């Protein structure tokens, strides 16, 4: 039974689910090379089918975001200013808005109207799919159910509380589900007028960062003191313990934008960031805690763009009501395609419990891999580099890393979601704190959070305080941990000012080749830890093909590029250049 999931809003994509397991998944931006590409993802539909050997598709499932229903098949573009206008318009109008988007009735109306617009698009979608040989019927899954299903059915748990939170989708900004076996039942929902996600985005914007850059605030927050400005924020958003819901107290976030801005004027931006982050952590803890106590569940599965916030995830993991946390690694709307297909599969199929429990996300390496011929073609046109074929590229890469060189690695299938987990990564030793300046400059990024590390699972407790072998979420860089004193001393480059880090804990079975590289690096240096940052330039999607890699390597003036078993180095570079300079 193969289901094809498709999402077509921001960061559109496609995924194939075979008997309840995701077997291939890609986002359109990686193929179109345009960050957060939206529109109907024709390229990725073809790609996920090809990756799975073109199986017959039984059903096509759309991850609905009704507000993006008027999407055009041919107009594959996503304009951030345009989206920004839309969000501001939704957030900005007082009165009408509270009525329209603050009540169950309003949300229902909104969904009916936009649902009809989505319906009107179906014939065009159907025609496009038929051209690719897909004749299966098309259905749609509610936006927050797709988020929830993604988290629930990749958790590997039989029972769990599932919390979703994002900007908005299908009229809601958050929801709570109970997963029992294959069942997934909604127990609460929050209308999008009360969106914490939109509020956070709003403050991000107010502080001069672009939309989609909420991570900057999270990073900046560690530099500030939340106490001063928190009371200001508490006048705008609160958790209503009686009703178990999050409440936007403003007339409309946008309507009170000027007031909020004025109220925040006395505070430095670090303190503002710290306060909005604290508001976020407090409200979400209260929200999740309320339903954990109410349902008696002790395992928490999370999805939705809000849970890109790694600090929030740590706070939730540390709640007394929580035994374990799972964060679906492609938590934002880009991960909706897999969620929609999973939701549809489990709605129709009840699996035996023994089977269910093993359905943890098997791998995140769900995208395309490339051949030697692709690599050869990509390096052909390069000037001023040496290309050599090596018998053991992992050992060679480890040797170069131990010499202090920056190594970009493109090998094996591409990761699904916002994090590179070794196959589309830039690696460097974690001892040099200054790397956060000069490497970001070369990659044309500005960050307030240090690079994240990859650590060998065998050594995880040496670096991460409180880590336990069953902390599955830590394998995907979705949760922060407090650094151990050893980590602060030996790997200062990956430790944030608040003493936390955001690791990928690497097991041999998840990525044998990458694990071998890190093991070899440890053999040479004694340290089973490396910086692992995604291989992309500022504002560009993570590289996909060897050709993308070669282009980014050239533009960022990186030292070493590993493409499968080819090692590309800049000619005339001294061997131990320690990666410095520009
Ligand atoms: Fe969403």
Q: Residue 396 C-alpha to ligand 1 middle, in angstroms?
A: 42
Q: Residue 261 C-alpha to ligand 1 middle, in angstroms?
A: 27
Q: Residue 69 C-alpha to ligand 1 middle, in angstroms?
A: 14
373 vs 277: CA distance, rounded Å? 48
For 390-476, strand residue ranges (E) read: 407-410, 424-428, 453-456, 464-465
Exposed/middle/buried for residue 266 (C-beta within 10 Å: 0-12, 13-18, 19+): exposed
Q: What is the pLDDT of residue 120?
A: 80
Contact 246, 304 (CB under 8 A): no
Q: Residue 165 C-alpha to ligand 1 middle, in angstroms?
A: 7
Q: Residue 144 C-alpha to ligand 1 middle, in angstroms?
A: 7
Q: Residue 525 C-alpha to ligand 1 middle, in angstroms?
A: 43
Q: What are the φ/ψ torsions at residue 142 (nearest 5 degrees)? A: -50, 145
Contact 430, 445 (CB under 8 A): no
Q: Residue 211 C-alpha to ligand 1 middle, in angstroms?
A: 15
Q: What is the CA radius of gyration of the chain?
A: 23
Mean pLDDT per 10-residue run, the chain (582 residues)?
Answer: 91 94 96 88 95 96 72 47 56 60 79 78 88 93 96 94 93 94 94 88 85 87 95 92 89 69 93 96 98 97 96 97 97 95 91 66 94 93 88 97 96 96 98 93 88 97 96 95 98 96 97 98 98 91 96 90 94 50 38
Q: Residue 102 C-alpha to ligand 1 middle, in angstroms?
A: 17
Residue among 63, 12, 64 nearest 38 (CA): 12
* Cα separation values, 551 from 177, 178, 208, 397, Å: 44, 46, 30, 20
Q: What is the pLDDT of residue 535?
A: 96
Sheet of strand 159-169: strand arrangement: 183-191, 172-180, 159-169, 299-303, 324-327
| Token code pair at residue 502 | 């955001």
Q: Residue 174 C-alpha to ligand 1 middle, in angstroms?
A: 9
Q: What is the pLDDT of residue 354?
A: 62
Q: Residue 68 C-alpha to ligand 1 middle, in angstroms?
A: 12
Q: What is the pLDDT of residue 87?
A: 55
Q: Residue 303 C-alpha to ligand 1 middle, in angstroms?
A: 8
107 vs 172: CA distance, rounded Å? 7
Q: Residue 346 C-alpha to ligand 1 middle, in angstroms?
A: 20
Q: Where are the alpha helices (DSSP H) in 415-484?
A: 435-442, 460-463
Q: What is the pLDDT of residue 117?
A: 75
Q: Residue 318 C-alpha to ligand 1 middle, in angstroms?
A: 25
Q: Residue 412 C-alpha to ligand 1 middle, in angstroms?
A: 29
Q: Residue 417 C-alpha to ligand 1 middle, in angstroms?
A: 14
Q: Residue 528 C-alpha to ligand 1 middle, in angstroms?
A: 36
419 vs 423: CA distance, rounded Å? 10
Q: Residue 170 C-alpha to ligand 1 middle, in angstroms?
A: 9
Q: Residue 38 C-alpha to ligand 1 middle, in angstroms?
A: 14
Q: Residue 327 C-alpha to ligand 1 middle, in angstroms?
A: 14
Q: Residue 19 C-alpha to ligand 1 middle, in angstroms?
A: 25
Sheet of strand 500-501: strand arrangement: 464-465, 481-483, 500-501
Residue among 331, 386, 400, 354 nearest 146 (CA): 331
Q: Residue 332 C-alpha to ligand 1 middle, in angstroms?
A: 6
For 334-449, strand residue ranges (E) read: 385-389, 407-410, 424-428
Q: Residue 83 C-alpha to ligand 1 middle, in angstroms?
A: 14
Residue among 361, 360, 362, 363 nearest 412 (CA): 363
462 vs 453: CA distance, rounded Å? 13
Residue whose tokens read 């071998």: 516
Residues in the chain: 582
Q: Residue 482 C-alpha to ligand 1 middle, in angstroms?
A: 29
Residue among 529, 540, 461, 438 nearest 490 (CA): 529
| Token code pair at residue 273 | 């960031």
Q: Residue 470 C-alpha to ligand 1 middle, in angstroms?
A: 27
* Cα separation values, 4 from 63, 67, 265, 566, Å: 11, 22, 49, 35
Q: Residue 389 C-alpha to ligand 1 middle, in angstroms?
A: 44
431 vs 441: CA distance, rounded Å? 18
Q: Residue 240 C-alpha to ligand 1 middle, in angstroms?
A: 22
Those residues whose C-beta lies under 8 Å from the C-beta of residue 340, and which sit 6 or more positions away, are 5, 6, 7, 61, 62, 63, 64, 140, 141, 146, 149
Contact 519, 393 (CB under 8 A): no
Q: What is the pLDDT of residue 271?
A: 97
301 vs 328: CA distance, rounded Å? 7
Q: Residue 288 C-alpha to ligand 1 middle, in angstroms?
A: 18
Residue among 336, 328, 318 nearest 472 (CA): 328
Q: Residue 163 C-alpha to ligand 1 middle, in angstroms?
A: 12
Beta bridge partners of 184: 179
Contact 435, 579 (CB under 8 A): yes
Secondary structure letter of residue 484 according to DSSP: P
Q: Residue 336 C-alpha to ligand 1 middle, in angstroms?
A: 8
Q: Residue 436 C-alpha to ligand 1 middle, in angstroms?
A: 31
3 state SS of 166: strand
Angle between the 372-380 and 546-555 helix axes, to the nearest 10 degrees? 30
* Cα separation values, 133 from 7, 42, 53, 58, 127, Å: 19, 12, 13, 12, 10
Q: Residue 65 C-alpha to ligand 1 middle, in angstroms?
A: 8
Q: Residue 506 C-alpha to ligand 1 middle, in angstroms?
A: 28
Q: Residue 423 C-alpha to ligand 1 middle, in angstroms?
A: 26
Residue among 52, 51, 50, 30 nearest 41 (CA): 30
The model's pTM is 0.93
Q: Residue 239 C-alpha to ligand 1 middle, in angstroms?
A: 21
Q: Residue 168 C-alpha to ligand 1 middle, in angstroms?
A: 6
Q: What are the φ/ψ torsions at residue 299 (nearest 5 degrees)? A: -115, 135
Q: Residue 164 C-alpha to ligand 1 middle, in angstroms?
A: 8
Q: Residue 537 C-alpha to ligand 1 middle, in angstroms?
A: 25
| Token code pair at residue 82 | 């345009």
Question: Does the CA dihedral 347-353-357-360 come out positive or negative?
Answer: negative
3 state SS of 120: helix
Q: Residue 579 C-alpha to ligand 1 middle, in angstroms?
A: 39
Q: Residue 512 C-alpha to ligand 1 middle, in angstroms?
A: 33
Q: Residue 447 C-alpha to ligand 1 middle, in angstroms?
A: 24
Q: Residue 488 C-alpha to ligand 1 middle, in angstroms?
A: 36
37 vs 24: CA distance, rounded Å? 19
Contact 353, 181 (CB under 8 A): yes
462 vs 458: CA distance, rounded Å? 9
Those residues whose C-beta lies under 8 Å from the C-beta of residue 208, and which sit 6 or more positions away, are none
């Amino acid at each position: 039974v193969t289901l094809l999931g498709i999402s077509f809003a921001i960061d559109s994509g496609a995924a194939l689910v075979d008997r309840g397991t995701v077997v291939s998944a890609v986002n359109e931006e990686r193929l179109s090379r345009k960050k957060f590409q939206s529109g109907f993802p024709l390229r990725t539909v073809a790609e996920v089918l090809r990756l799975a050997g073109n199986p017959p598709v039984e059903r096509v499932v759309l991850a609905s975001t009704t507000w993006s229903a008027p999407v055009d098949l041919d107009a594959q573009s996503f304009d951030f200013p345009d989206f920004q206008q839309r969000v501001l318009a939704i957030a900005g109008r007082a009165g009408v808005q509270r009525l329209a988007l603050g009540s169950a009735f309003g949300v229902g109306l909104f969904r009916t109207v936009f649902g009809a617009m989505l319906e009107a698009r179906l014939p065009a979608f159907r025609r496009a799919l038929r051209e690719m040989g897909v004749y299966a019927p098309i259905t749609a899954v509610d936006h927050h159910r797709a988020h929830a299903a993604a988290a629930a059915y990749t958790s590997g748990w039989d029972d769990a509380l599932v919390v979703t939170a994002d900007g908005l989708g299908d009229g809601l900004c958050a929801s709570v589900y109970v997963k029992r076996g294959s069942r997934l039942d909604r127990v609460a929902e929050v209308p999008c007028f009360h969106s914490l996600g939109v509020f956070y985005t709003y403050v991000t914007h107010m502080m001069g960062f672009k939309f989609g850059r909420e991570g900057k605030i999270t990073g900046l927050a560690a530099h500030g003191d939340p106490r001063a400005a928190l009371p200001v924020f508490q006048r705008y958003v609160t958790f209503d313990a009686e009703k178990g819901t999050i409440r936007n107290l403003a007339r409309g976030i946008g309507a009170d934008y000027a007031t909020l801005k004025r109220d925040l004027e006395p505070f430095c931006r670090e303190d503002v960031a710290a306060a909005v982050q604290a508001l976020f952590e407090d409200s979400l803890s209260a929200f999740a805690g309320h339903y954990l106590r109410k349902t008696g569940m002790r395992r928490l599965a999370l999805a939705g763009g809000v849970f890109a916030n790694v600090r929030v995830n740590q706070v939730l993991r540390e709640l007394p009501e929580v035994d374990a946390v799972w964060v679906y690694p492609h938590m934002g709307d880009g991960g909706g395609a897999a969620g929609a297909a999973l939701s549809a599969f489990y709605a129709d199929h009840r699996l035996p419990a023994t089977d269910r429990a093993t359905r943890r996300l098997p791998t995140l390496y769900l995208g395309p891999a490339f051949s030697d011929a692709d690599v050869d073609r990509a390096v052909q046109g390069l000037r001023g580099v040496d290309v050599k074929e090596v018998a053991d590229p992992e050992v060679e890469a480890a040797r170069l890393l131990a010499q202090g060189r920056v190594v970009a690695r493109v090998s094996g299938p591409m990761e699904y979601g916002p994090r590179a987990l070794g196959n589309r990564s830039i690696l460097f030793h974690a001892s040099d704190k200054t790397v956060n300046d000069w490497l970001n400059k070369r990659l044309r990024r500005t960050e307030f959070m240090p690079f994240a590390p990859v650590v060998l699972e065998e050594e995880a407790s040496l670096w991460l305080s409180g880590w336990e072998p069953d902390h599955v979420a830590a394998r995907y860089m979705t949760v922060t941990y407090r650094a151990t004193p050893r980590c602060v001393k030996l790997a200062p480059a990956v430790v944030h000012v608040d003493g936390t880090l955001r690791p990928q804990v690497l097991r041999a079975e998840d990525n044998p080749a990458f694990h071998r590289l890190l093991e070899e690096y440890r053999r040479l240096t004694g340290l089973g830890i490396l910086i692992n940052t995604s291989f992309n330039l500022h504002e560009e999607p993570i590289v996909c093909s060897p050709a993308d890699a070669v282009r980014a390597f050239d533009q960022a003036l990186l030292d070493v590029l590993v493409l499968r078993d080819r090692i590309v180095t800049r000619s005339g570079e001294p061997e131990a250049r320690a990666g410095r300079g520009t």
